[in-house]
Amino acid sequence: MSTVLYITSNPKSEKDSYSLKVGREFLNAYKIKNPGDNIFEIDTFKAGVPLIDKDVLKGWSRMASGTSFGVLTTDEQQKIKKIDKFTDQFIAADKYIFVTPMWNFTVPAMMKAYIDTICIVNRTFKYTQNGAEGLLKGKKAVHIQASGGVYSEGPAKDFEMGNRYIKSICMFLGITFDGSIFIEGIQADPNKANEILQGATDLAVKTAETF
């Protein structure tokens, strides 16, 4: 039995979002194959993801110099506690499904804020003499991304930073990146909307069956 995090970052409702639609199809297919798994959904727009601000940096720095958590200011404690909760939840999971729209070539800011809560030194990665090493080996992830244009091939390929970012973070943390599902080009060619959506849905269902 695995613990799965379904991590989304979109203020739209599912019916208005291509990535959320395909993400849901993935999750439904996954659940049919793995009925006993524990699945937790994190909507990064609603989950109260904290930003790394002055209090967080100050609190972390004080703890690194030996100050105990209980002596930190209330703001420092509260914000660090919130971050720790997301880190703990991420470490406790086995599989991750990231679902994002492309916004200005990358993921929405709330996904970036979430990622900042899971890249924590000595918890999800550590520094060694040979450089950084991910501590989440044996876990795996997929990324589902919708974009108006096409980035998996063609002239805009180098502009793509959302999928490359999620993939890089997974690799950095030692997580096996199991693949990407793109719903791309619907705004560039609206006549192909149904075809693009169906192709991505088929791939999502197929990928979910072995994830």
Ligand X SMILES: Cc1cc2nc3c(=O)[nH]c(=O)nc-3n(C[C@H](O)[C@H](O)[C@H](O)COP(=O)(O)O)c2cc1C
| Contact positions vs ligand X (CB under 6 A) | 10, 12, 17-20, 101-105, 146-149, 187
Query: Bridge partners of 42?
Result: 7
Q: Which is nearer to ligand X, 131 or 155 (CB)?
A: 155
Classify residue 158 by burial, with Cβ atoms within 10 Å: 0-12, 13-18, 19+. exposed
Distance from C-alpha of 25 to C-alpha of 29, rounded to nearest angstrom: 6
89's tokens: 């939840």
Distance from C-alpha of 76 to C-alpha of 60, rounded to nearest angstrom: 8
Q: Which residue's Cβ lies closest to ligand X?
A: 101
Q: Which is nearer to ligand X, 8 or 124 (CB)?
A: 8
Q: Which is nearer to ligand X, 28 or 67 (CB)?
A: 28
Q: Which is nearer to ligand X, 33 or 154 (CB)?
A: 154
Does residue 109 sit in helix, strand or coil? helix
Closest distance of CB 101 from ligand X, Å: 3
CA-based nearest residue to 75, from 59, 95, 88, 63 = 59
Closest distance of CB 183 from ligand X, Å: 7
Q: Which is nearer to ligand X, 102 or 142 (CB)?
A: 102
Closest distance of CB 185 from ligand X, Å: 8
Strand ranges (DSSP E) for 129-197? Answer: 131-134, 140-147, 176-184
